[in-house]
A = this chain, B = another copy of it.
Amino acid sequence: MAETTKKKRRTRRVRETIREETRAAYREAILEAAAKTFGRLGFHDAKMTDIAAEAGVAAGTLYNYFASKDEIFALMLERGQEYFVETVQAAAAAEPDPAQRILVFLRTVFSFLEQNGPLFAIYLRQGGLNEWSRQRLRESDNHHIRRNVELLKAAFAEAQERGQLRDDLSTEELRELFTGLMDAQVFAWVSRGCPPDLVAKAEVVFDVFLNGVRR
């Protein structure tokens, strides 16, 4: 009897664990679908039905996992940013030479975008230019992106100390310039229809930037 009870209990725990994992997988799948759909259509034109269809579930199911369209949007952004930042940090953070670190950063970003499609470009700029997007972003969303910002600024500071970069510009100013060069490539690439040539641009951007801001 005790044996049986124990077994049952264990069984239940196992089942719950499985269910937990299934739930997590579902959430992931929905956020993935949301990313694709929002990326393709934007917030308003992406209907809950579209997201559900993309995820292969019924519209009502979305509400078993998330409270509202707004929540899905916010979490999808957060998730995407986290994944993006994680990938970039994993590749670049350990690089000892600051210039190399910047080059690796650039390559990783471009490679990531090439693989994950243009939809992730949305994470580069948090929501663009208008109040509309910002309303829908929670403050916390920025904190992932900020890690990339810090990585760059640290690299620039180090390079300045080593005398590799002009030091009449603040690290923030350098970052703005660098980001601009990088994003411009991304935007141009997106409007070319995302051909598989983005990574190849990394060298040029790196080259131009370093020339431009060399001491």
Contacts and interface: CB of A to CB of B under 8 A. Distances in A.
B41 A131 contact: yes
Interface stretch (A6-14, A55-63, A96-104, A206-214): A206-214
Number of copies: 4
Which of A130, A207, A209, A210: most chain B Cβ within 10 A?
A130
Interface in A195-213: 204-205, 207-213
Which of under 10, 10 to 19, 20 to 34, or 35 or more describes the interface residues of A?
35 or more
Interface in A14-43: 39-43
Contacts of A209: 212
Contact of A45 (B132, B182, B185, B213): B132
A40 B212 contact: no
A128 B130 contact: no
A176 interface: yes
B128 A128 contact: yes
Nearest to A213: B208
A39 B129 CA distance: 8
B129 A177 contact: no
Nearest to A122: B129
A176 B190 contact: no
A53 interface: no
A179 B173 contact: no
Contacts of A188: 176, 179
A141 interface: no
Contacts of A41: 130-132
A120 to B, nearest CB: 10
A169 B204 contact: yes
A162 interface: no
A68 interface: no
A141 to B, nearest CB: 13
A180 interface: yes
A202 to B, nearest CB: 13
Which 4 pairs of residues, A with B, have the shortest CB-CB distance? A180-B184, A212-B212, A42-B132, A44-B44
